Structure 1
Amino acid sequence: MKNTLTIFLLSILAFSCSKNDFENTNLYLEFDKETYQSNDNFELTIKIYPTEVEKTIRFYKDLNNIEISFLSKAEEFEFHQKLKKRFIEGPPIFGDDSEYIDEYTISKEKPFEKIFLGTISESVNEIVFEIPELNIKNKIDKYFILKNPIILIKGNCRTVYGGKGKPFMSKEIEVELE
């Protein structure tokens, strides 16, 4: 009896964890411009296309499973890395998860597209990239931007039912200091 119950629970867990992955999709980042000034606003559009047929993808309602990072190319070569840790309250394993999750059915003709508004601001020593809707605030030392004004944007979509994620295609923009 215990073995049957264990197998049943493990199969439910396995099914739940494999529910929402971004396998067989392509993830892209697009900006409204290629070059920005410090103290500028930007629009970041994420696009997700299925590689084959229609597919259902899921996001937390607060979009907490989308991660975006801004790194200077000079900083990347010096292996500078910041780790972020966030507590995420997830959906229940059993029951209605619509309180936490939005579902989208995507196709090649109708991909998922979402525009995020962000700002680039300048302080004495840093350039700050903010996307309030995603609760993102990345700081880059001006020293690195003076060495190389190219900013590398990387991102990832994590599944809502597990830890797996899929990266966006990296994107580069240029930031000119005033």
Structure 2
Amino acid sequence: MKNILAYSILLILIFSCNQNDFSDTELYFLTDKASYSVNDYFKITVVVSPKNGEKKIRIKKNLNNLKISFHATSTKLGFSQELKKHFIEGPSLTKDESEYIDEFTISKTHPFKKTFKGQISESKESIILEIPELNITDSVAKSKLLVNPKLTIKGNFHTIYSVKEEYFIPKAIEILIE
């Protein structure tokens, strides 16, 4: 009897985790421009599209399962800042999680899209990138961008209840400094 109960719980957990992954999807970023100057406003859009047909995805309302990083391409070590942290935990067996998780049915013609607005500013030695909606303020040394003004945006989505992740296609932008 204990074995049947254990197997049943295991199967429930496996199937509930499998319905929420980003496998067989294309993840990429769109920006409103290819290059930006200091004091520009920018828009970055996160896009998730299925490779075929329709697919259901679940995303935390606070976007804690989204990770984005910026990398300066002018240095060997690069510049990297994790903008969102994620916490991995099991599904609740007793409460409604719709308060914390949104479910989307996506297709090629109707992908998931979320646009964030930000601003680029500067201090004496840094270029500052701010995205208020995500409570992000980040910076990169001007000296790195003077050598090569390109930044690469990278990221991934983690499934809600497992460690599986799918990566975004990297997106390059330029930050022009006068």
Residue identity in the other structure for 1:167:
Y
Q: 2 CA distance for matches of 1:27 and 1:85? A: 17
Alignment gaps of 5+ in structure 1: none
Distance 1:127 1:136, change over 3 A: same
1:84–1:2 Cα change, 3 Å: farther
CA RMSD, aligned part only?
A: 2.1
Counterpart for residue 103 of structure 2: 103
1:1-150 → structure 2 map (5 Å cutoff)? 1-75=1-75, 77-79=76-78, 81-82=80-81, 86=85, 88=87, 92-94=91-93, 95-150=95-150
Normalised TM-score (structure 1): 0.89
> Secondary structure of the equivalent of 1:144?
helix
> Which string of whole-angstrom CA distances, capped at 9 and with x for unpartnered residues, describes residues 74-105 of structure 1?
13x22555567846486742132101101111
Q: How far off its partner does 1:37 sit?
A: 0.6
Q: Secondary structure at the match of 1:10?
A: helix
User: 1:50-97, CA deviations, whole angstroms, 9 ceiling, x for partnerless residues?
Assistant: 10111111111111212211221013x225555678464867421321
* Aligned length, in residue pairs: 177
- Alignment check: 8 A CA contact 1:70 1:138 kept: no
SS at match of 2:8: helix
Structure-2 separation of matches of 1:52 and 1:19: 16
Normalised TM-score (structure 2): 0.89
Q: What is the percentage of aligned positions where both structures have the same residue?
A: 46
**Deviation of residue 157 (structure 1)?**
1.2
- Counterpart code for 1:45: T
**Ranges in structure 2 where 5+ consecutive residues have no aligned partner:** none
User: Following the alignment from structure 2 to structure 1, what is the Cα–Cα distance between the partners of residues 155 and 52?
Assistant: 22
Q: Is the partner of 1:78 in helix, strand or coil?
A: coil
